[in-house]
Structure 1
Amino acid sequence: MADEFIKGFTLFALGALAWFTFGGWYRTPSYYEIVQLVNPAEGVNTAYGQVALLAGDVAFWLMIVGPVVFWVLIPVSRELRKSLNDDGDAEAAN
């Protein structure tokens, strides 16, 4: 169980770090603005800028989906598989 936690936490941390980095570079017009990291990107005219915006969006979703997979979906699927196997073993014993 600890390995799932650290895998999810690693994906969360790496996704957050990348999202903060790309958001700070491309989505923060001024340090003194109240809304940062979620502003629409302005002045991105190059292919590298478009790739960076895509990387920032991918990092955001990695930050959200990665922990959900490792902290919720994998443990739930293991418990479901275990309960289904236990039911099958109980029926075979009867």
Structure 2
Amino acid sequence: MADEFIKGLSALMVGGLGWMTLAGWYRTHHFEGRQLTAEITVENPTVYDQIGFFLMDAFFWFAILGALTFWVLLPAIEEAREAWAARQSE
């Protein structure tokens, strides 16, 4: 179970760092107001800006779904398999 924890933590850290970097570039307009959660106000986004917007969302969902997969989903499947095997051996 320790390897699932590390994999989930790695997904959370890599996704969170990627999201935070891109959100800092595209969402921080000034330091007095909202920073990482402000609206994106790029008037004429280039192809690279659009790739950055996509990657920002991809990193966010990778962090959330990756951590949940390794911390909740895979251990639950393993517990269900063990319970099923124990029930079949009775």
TM-score range (shorter-chain normalised) is: over 0.9
> What is the aligned-residue identity percentage?
38
Matched residues, number = 89
Structure possessing the higher radius of gyration over alpha carbons: 1
Amino acid at match of 1:29: H
User: Normalising to structure 2: TM-score of the pair?
Assistant: 0.94
Query: Runs (4+) of structure 1 moved beyond 2 Å?
Result: none
Give unpaired runs (5+ residues) of structure 2: none
3-state secondary structure, aligned to 1:62: helix
Supply the distance in 2 between the matched residues of 1:38 and 1:58 (Cα, whole angstroms).
16
Root-mean-square deviation over aligned CA pairs: 0.9
Cα deviation per residue 1:26-61 (whole Å; 9 max; x = unaligned)? Answer: 01111221x221222111510100110110111111
Residue 3 of structure 1 pairs with residue 3 of structure 2: yes
Q: Tell me, in whole angstroms, the C-alpha distance in 2 between the residues paired with 1:31 and 1:59.
A: 23
Taking structure 1 as the reference length, the TM-score comes to: 0.90
